[in-house]
């Protein structure tokens, strides 16, 4: 009997057809395999038992880069007889819903060849095969063929071609392959951009790093700035030149053994760290002092990742030390992806290890952590992008979601699939906005997509909102929809967990646009995908200086002091008041009293700031989320008490809690009780509303808070598997637009 086997998921451009060919041949099945619009289609002439066994084998042995969504077996109406098994050319060029694979770290086989003196790719920095290497970062168009990638300009030599054409070879149809003869090459630039004439670039770079120099290295989705992580002078210099005083740096190491010298790793974390996606994983530092203090000052965690390209591998093997590896960009701005852009940062690096394979789509390193065996993402990019998430129900509308303003991502929705761009940047500078637009164009081009609905945030001054309105003006048939920021956060977590029923959404976040110009961020919603009711929130406080308060925790603390003591604050002496001059205090008091440039806010993220300032932990922050990270490091799990709080008329008053913290003498006790109090508040609200509890928003990047809530409400739904910060907004918006 002739059967048709249809497979959907990430099954194109990942070596699926040769895998099927080899499997079918080994099982002596006759028929063919080909790609179609939705995935892979196989036709075999055999018995029902045999086809079942075949499918079982497919599931068990699938290529490492593939991801099977579904396999359907049905009788085929083909009449022909087959004498053998063949790979047929694609049925159609319409690959609308086929999925682009992510960029994947070098595989074991390639590493062995890289280190094998007798292999023709010995020490070739771009060695790759069907199971590893760049994908998303080099693709210009679908279908994923070499001619549609930035490898098109490298014409394969005879030897590479033979491998590419042989279905039995492990490089069969591997689009990015090359060798010394035909593929991309590395080069070394000095600060003036001049190519250095030297024999062995890698050896030279290793020498520079060992000497304490800062080197820019072009990787898969962008450049890194690297230096020796043990060398205090070099790391300090990098901080100075990059104007990044305290934000922790990520560290790249050669292998898992070296990681264990630096951090504590449990089994789940080890699995993640050495997976073929090779993300940065946040891990607890251990006591041994292998790194210098400036790498991640004042916090007990470290972002660590393993070498993931052949080039990184070669450098780290020779250096044999941990490397600071931070994205080459200006803080908050997009990554540098070509020589022209990296030259703009030549005041930071001493040398640049460049290469000539074009990066088409920029893609930063992904950042994750494990809590309670669950994976949480802080940044979703290389190895995970583009991300394909599902809608609970199919939609017949084509939806473009433009996300928020910080940690921007964009998404397109087709049927029940939401395709999300990697993390782009904060939409502040011109170049960020350019990148934002180019990511939209890339998705539109690759998926041949024109939106019926454009959905954005409610904040009138977000660049994404402005752009949505521009699009609407240009295309009057396009429907424009705006979704409240914190509701979108909850929808995102609901979508990740396929929840459509009514829930109690807890949205703790930085600041987002609420109603009447108020900045929300500490919200309790009773909601489903159709709409929300705000059933609780933190009592509004005045955000002194508006946007400026986001960068200055001391302004938020001062606002609470004014609320508690009025003008008497001018004569108070505490850590917060001491960080201002007397005249500043006077001006700010007037501003607070009259409400000048002081929007009302209920933000929980900002309350973290206030706590950090009054405890003398942080008064002016240099990066987003800094106060949360510092407070986390002070938490003591042996302290079980919490502060008194009340929920009056759906409002929880922060100043009541703030007052108690103010009276506390011990920092650790204050911080621990503060965390416990937030958890108690959520627990209290969950008892009032007998509904499943769903968490969303940037505050839930805080692992102490997550850990405590998962303990007290074991069936709480958490934003695991994807990000919970503003990069999740585009997904939440898509769900709102699809269900309307
Ligand atoms: Zn490989
Ligand atoms: Zn070649």
Q: What are phi and psi of 561, to 5 degrees?
A: -65, -45
Cα–Cα distance for residue pair 98/39, rounded to 1 Å: 6
Cα–Cα distance for residue pair 423/425, rounded to 1 Å: 6
Looking at residue 353, its pLDDT comes to 98
* pLDDT classification of 98: cutoffs 50, 70, 90: low
CA of 313 to the centre of ligand 1 (A): 13
Ligand nearest to the CA of 63: 1
CA of 184 to the centre of ligand 2 (A): 10
CA of 561 to the centre of ligand 1 (A): 60
Ligand nearest to the CA of 155: 2
Q: How far is CA 286 from CA 261, 291, 299, in A?
A: 8, 10, 12
Looking at residue 97, its pLDDT comes to 53
**DSSP character at residue 105:** P
* pLDDT tops 70 at residue 305: yes
**DSSP character at residue 203:** H
Region of residue 9 (phi > 0: left; psi between -120 and 50: alpha; otherwise: beta)? left
Cα–Cα distance for residue pair 34/12, rounded to 1 Å: 10
Partners of 320 in the β-ladder: none
CA of 16 to the centre of ligand 1 (A): 15
Q: What are phi and psi of 668, to 5 degrees?
A: -60, -40
pTM for the whole structure:
0.90
- Fold match flag (186-364 vs 386-484+726-738): no
Q: Are the beta carbons of 203 and 370 closer than 8 angstroms?
A: no
Q: Are the beta carbons of 29 and 43 closer than 8 angstroms?
A: no
CA of 444 to the centre of ligand 1 (A): 30
CA of 13 to the centre of ligand 1 (A): 14
CA of 148 to the centre of ligand 2 (A): 19
Question: For 484, how many CA atoms within 13 A lie in the half-sphere containing its CB?
Answer: 22
Q: Are the beta carbons of 720 and 492 closer than 8 angstroms?
A: no
Q: Where are the domains of the chain?
A: 2-87, 100-184, 186-364, 386-484+726-738, 519-526+536-712
* pLDDT classification of 93: cutoffs 50, 70, 90: very low
Q: Are the beta carbons of 92 and 142 closer than 8 angstroms?
A: no
Architecture of the domain made up of 386-484+726-738:
2-Layer Sandwich (3.30)
CA of 107 to the centre of ligand 1 (A): 4
Architecture of the domain made up of 519-526+536-712:
2-Layer Sandwich (3.30)
CA of 108 to the centre of ligand 1 (A): 7
Q: How far is CA 412 from CA 10, 381, 448, in A?
A: 17, 16, 11
Largest CA distance in the chain: 94
Q: What are phi and psi of 526, to 5 degrees?
A: -95, 120
Cα–Cα distance for residue pair 29/19, rounded to 1 Å: 13
Q: Which of 288-292, 496-500, 720-724 has the lowest mean pLDDT?
A: 288-292
* pLDDT tops 80 at residue 332: no
CA of 165 to the centre of ligand 2 (A): 13
Question: What are 155-190's pLDDT values in tens digits?
Answer: 999 999 999 999 889 998 899 999 999 999 999 999
Looking at residue 36, its pLDDT comes to 75
Cα–Cα distance for residue pair 154/42, rounded to 1 Å: 32
* pLDDT tops 50 at residue 95: no
User: Which one of 2.60.15.10, 3.30.70.100, 3.40.640.10, 3.30.360.10 gives the CATH number of domain 2-87?
Assistant: 3.30.70.100
* pLDDT tops 50 at residue 138: yes
CA-wise closest residue to 367 among 318, 312, 422: 422
* pLDDT tops 90 at residue 152: yes
CA-wise closest residue to 537 among 652, 675, 682: 652
Partners of 108 in the β-ladder: none
* pLDDT tops 80 at residue 37: no
Ligand nearest to the CA of 104: 1
CA of 708 to the centre of ligand 1 (A): 41
Looking at residue 501, its pLDDT comes to 95
CA of 274 to the centre of ligand 2 (A): 29
Region 445-469 average pLDDT: 94
Region 235-259 average pLDDT: 95
CA of 183 to the centre of ligand 1 (A): 15
* pLDDT tops 80 at residue 96: no
* pLDDT classification of 142: cutoffs 50, 70, 90: confident
- Percentage of the chain surpassing pLDDT 90? 81
Ligand nearest to the CA of 132: 1
CA of 701 to the centre of ligand 2 (A): 45
Asked if the 186-364 domain carries CATH number 3.90.870.40, the reply is yes
Instruction: Specify the fold of 100-184.
Output: DHBP synthase (3.90.870)
- Residue ranges of the alpha helices (H) in 475-581? 485-496, 547-551, 553-565, 575-578
3-class SS string, 157-203: CHHHHHHHHCCCCCCCCCCCCCCCCCCCCEEEEECCCCECCCCCHHH
Looking at residue 141, its pLDDT comes to 83
């Amino acid at each position: 009997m002739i059967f048709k086997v249809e497979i959907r998921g990430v099954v194109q451009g990942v070596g699926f057809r040769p895998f099927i060919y080899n499997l079918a041949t080994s099982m002596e099945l006759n028929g063919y395999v080909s790609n179609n619009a939705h995935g892979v289609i196989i036709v075999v002439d055999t018995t029902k038992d045999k086809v079942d066994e075949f499918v079982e084998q497919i599931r068990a042995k699938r290529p490492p880069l593939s991801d099977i969504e579904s396999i359907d077996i049905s009788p085929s109406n083909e009449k022909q007889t087959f004498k053998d098994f063949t790979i047929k050319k694609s049925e159609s060029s319409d690959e609308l819903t086929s999925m682009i694979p992510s960029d994947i770290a070098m595989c074991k086989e390639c590493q062995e060849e890289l280190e094998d003196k007798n292999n023709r790719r010995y020490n070739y920095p771009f060695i790759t095969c069907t199971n590893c290497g760049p994908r998303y970062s080099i693709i210009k168009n679908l279908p994923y063929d070499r001619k549609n990638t930035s490898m098109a300009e490298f014409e394969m030599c005879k030897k590479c071609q033979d491998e590419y054409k042989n279905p039995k070879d492990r490089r069969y149809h591997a689009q990015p392959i090359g060798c010394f003869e035909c593929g991309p090459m590395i080069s070394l630039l000095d600060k003036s951009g001049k190519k250095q004439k030297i024999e062995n670039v890698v050896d030279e770079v290793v020498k520079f790093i060992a000497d304490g120099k800062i080197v820019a290295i072009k990787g898969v989705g962008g450049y890194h700035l690297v230096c020796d992580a043990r060398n205090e002078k070099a790391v300090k210099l990098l901080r100075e030149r990059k104007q990044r005083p305290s934000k922790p740096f990520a560290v790249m190491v050669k292998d898992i053994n070296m990681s264990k010298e630096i951090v504590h790793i449990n089994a789940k974390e080890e699995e993640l760290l050495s997976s073929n996606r090779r993300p940065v994983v946040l891990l607890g530092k251990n006591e041994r002092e292998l790194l210098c203090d400036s790498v991640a000052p004042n916090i007990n965690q470290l972002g660590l990742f393993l070498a993931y390209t052949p080039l990184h591998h070669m450098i780290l093997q020779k250096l044999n030390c941990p490397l600071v590896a931070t994205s080459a960009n200006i803080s908050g701005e997009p990554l540098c992806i070509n020589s022209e852009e990296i030259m703009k940062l030549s005041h930071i690096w001493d040398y640049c290890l460049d290469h000539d394979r074009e990066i088409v789509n920029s893609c930063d390193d992904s950042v994750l952590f494990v809590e309670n065996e669950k994976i949480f993402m802080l940044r979703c990019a290389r190895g995970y992008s583009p991300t394909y998430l599902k809608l609970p129900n199919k939609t017949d509308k084509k939806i473009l979601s433009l996300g928020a303003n910080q940690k921007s991502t964009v998404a397109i929705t087709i049927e029940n699939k939401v395709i999300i761009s990697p993390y782009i940047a904060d939409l502040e500078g011109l170049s960020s906005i350019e990148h934002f637009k180019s990511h939209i164009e890339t998705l539109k081009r690759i998926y041949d997509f024109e939106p019926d609905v454009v959905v954005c945030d409610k904040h009138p001054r977000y660049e994404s909102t402005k752009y949505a309105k521009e699009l609407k003006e240009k295309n009057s048939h396009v429907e424009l929809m705006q979704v409240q920021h914190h509701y979108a956060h909850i929808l995102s977590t609901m979508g990740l967990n396929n929840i459509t029923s009514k829930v109690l959404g807890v949205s703790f976040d930085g600041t987002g646009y609420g109603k009447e110009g108020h900045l929300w961020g500490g919200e309790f919603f009773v909601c489903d995908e159709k709409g929300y009711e705000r059933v609780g929130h933190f009592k509004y406080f005045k955000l002194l200086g508006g946007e400026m308060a986001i960068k200055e925790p001391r302004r938020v603390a001062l606002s609470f002091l004014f609320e508690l003591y009025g003008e008497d604050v001018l004569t108070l002496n505490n850590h917060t008041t001491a960080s201002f001059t007397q005249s500043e205090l006077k001006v700010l008091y007037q501003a607070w009293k009259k409400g000048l440039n002081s929007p009302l806010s209920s933000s929980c993220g900002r309350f973290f700031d206030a706590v950090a300032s009054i405890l003398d932990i942080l008064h002016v922050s240099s990066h987003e989320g800094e106060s949360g990270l510092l407070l986390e490091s002070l938490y003591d799990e042996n302290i079980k008490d919490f502060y008194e709080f009340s929920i009056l008329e759906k409002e929880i008053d922060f100043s009541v809690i703030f007052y108690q913290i103010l009276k506390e003498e011990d920092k650790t006790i204050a911080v621990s009780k503060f965390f416990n109090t937030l958890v108690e508040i959520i627990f209290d609200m969950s008892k009032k509303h007998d509904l499943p509890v769903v968490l969303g928003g940037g505050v839930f990047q805080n692992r102490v808070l997550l850990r405590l809530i998962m303990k007290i409400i074991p069936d709480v739904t958490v934003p695991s598997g994807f990000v919970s910060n503003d990069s999740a907004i585009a997904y939440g918006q898509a769900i709102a637009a699809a269900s309307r």
